[in-house]
Amino acid sequence: GAVVSQHPSWVICKSGTSVKIECRSLDFQATTMFWYRQFPKQSLMLMATSNEGSKATYEQGVEKDKFLINHASLTLSTLTVTSAHPEDSSFYICSAAGTWGTGELFFGEGSRLTVL
Amino acid sequence: KQEVTQIPAALSVPEGENLVLNCSFTDSAIYNLQWFRQDPGKGLTSLLLIQSSQREQTSGRLNASLDKSSGRSTLYIAASQPGDSATYLCAVPLGAGSYQLTFGKGTKLSVIP
């Protein structure tokens, strides 16, 4: 299957700093990528849809100025958590849709963010 | 609004047993249904994708069925192994052609050696 890679897999930062998480489709082009947040023992919550070359679409309740998303190429989307606070600590997962139109989504390994 | 439910929330079986995981959805007008596996602290691994026109898909020891009219899907795992222990999630798109998924809360499977 297609491979989606996330980096870093875990990061610890101080409150008030910004953290960037990368999501790459390694062997396919992805015009659309998605960012999710997952709390312990909960399912995935969609945060935003990232479209290559255009602005991301955010879900209701997600602060676009806090969670900056950039999708500058067909293989890379980045999520930047700005002015991080302890409540932003979570597991962030990205997914990408292939261009072959089957509707199948492929997910990254996830990034564990801990804000001290 | 589409809602996806997975029962049971947790399941523990001895190694070698066959088992079935259940997924139900409220809106039968789905485009496809996807089953995923999630290991602790990891992302999701796609297991099977069933298109709305299909009744089942098979991959190795896994078989997923889809009954749109009743709003149900099952994931059958044959001859379970300890390595199958994980949380299994099913998900359906929000609408035709949409890649935005609605997830169930998952079934946590433990296969006891």
pLDDT given at position B56: 95
Closest CA to B64 of B25, B94, B103, B90: B90
Confidence of residue B21 (pLDDT cuts 50, 70, 90): very high
Set of chain B residues whose Cβ sits within 8 Å of the Cβ of A49: 99-100
Handedness of CA A2, B65, B106, A101 (dihedral sign): positive
pLDDT tens digits for B27-81? 888 889 999 999 998 999 999 999 999 999 999 999 999 999 999 999 999 999 9
Say how many Å lie between the first and final Cα of chain A, rounded: 37
The contacts of residue B52 (CB under 8 Å, 6+ apart) are B30, B31, B32, B66, B68
Mean pLDDT of A46-50: 92
More confident residue, B112 or A97: B112
pLDDT tens digits for B73-104? 999 999 999 999 999 999 998 776 677 888 99
The pLDDT of residue A90 is above 70: yes
The pLDDT of residue A58 is above 80: yes
pLDDT given at position B38: 95
Distance in Å, alpha carbon of B98 to nearest chain A alpha carbon:
8
pLDDT given at position A100: 67
Q: Provide the mean pLDDT of chain B.
A: 93
pLDDT given at position B95: 74
Lookup result for tokens 């023992």: A41
- Best interface-test mutation with B: which of A104, A111, A114 has the largest number of B CBs within 10 A? A104
Distance in Å, alpha carbon of B22 to nearest chain A alpha carbon:
16
User: Do A100 and A27 meet the contact criterion of CB atoms below 8 Å apart?
Assistant: no
The answer to whether A40 contacts chain B (CB < 8 Å) is: no
Q: What is the DSSP string of B25-43?
A: ES----SEEEEEEE-TTS-
pLDDT given at position A40: 83
pLDDT given at position A1: 65
Question: For residue A58, how far is the Cα from the chain centroid?
Answer: 12
